[in-house]
Amino acid sequence: MSRFGKFPIFALLLALAALAAALFGALHTQISYSVGPSYFEDYKFAQFGTDPEMAPRLAAAVVGAQASWWMGALVGLPALLYGLVAVPRNASFFAAGIGAIGLVVILATFAAVAGLLGGIIVTATGWPDASLTLPDGVDPTEFLRAGFMHDASYIGGGLGAILAFWPMRRARQIDAARHAQQTQAPE
């Protein structure tokens, strides 16, 4: 089969990765807004130029989607390119791509929770000290809790970019075994 026959699947998977990241970002910001409204109201809303008349939760979701969609495409690109070339069957490529996207979302979720816990622990211990430079007007505790959560989810996404190769490699192995089994001459 021609490798170009899988290109529409590749494009669809890349778009689904961007959509999954945008949805993740929109949902993620609902939690981070809960623990750090100042992070958004005094920093991110101005940074992203959100409409001041927009409801804060909706504005946080918009910021999350805008900040995340590209990460899905970027994180998915290497593993999806590998799958485009290495996974023989269209169905296997699509299934592995969905698995890779799901794996990245799960890793980013666990990383975000770890970041939130880290932010809570760090602020509960009295850190940061006065030497830490934060944007003007933000509540330091809220900023650090939401900021830790935000940064950790990017780290989870980065780790996901590496681990997303696993479903692709597994699909390649399964397809190779299936092909070998089908080509064996019966005795």
Angle subtended by helix axes 90-124 and 165-183, to nearest 10: 160
User: Residue 135: what pLDDT?
Assistant: 87
User: Residue 123: what pLDDT?
Assistant: 87
Residue 65 contacts residue 25 (beta carbons within 8 Å): yes
* Tally of CA atoms within 13 A in the half-sphere of 143 that contains its CB: 15
User: Residue 4: what pLDDT?
Assistant: 64
The per-type count for the chain, helices as H runs and strands as E runs, is 7, 0
User: Residue 1: what pLDDT?
Assistant: 46
Residue type, position 15, single letter: A
Tokens coding 166: 């696993």
Q: What is the pTM of this model?
A: 0.89
Tokens coding 51: 């409409």
Q: CA Rg, the chain, in Å? A: 21
User: Tens place of pLDDT for every residue, the chain, 187 residues?
Assistant: 455 689 999 999 999 999 999 999 999 999 999 999 999 999 999 999 999 999 999 999 999 999 999 999 999 999 999 999 999 999 999 999 999 999 999 999 999 999 999 999 988 887 666 567 888 889 988 999 999 999 999 999 999 999 999 999 999 999 999 888 888 856 5
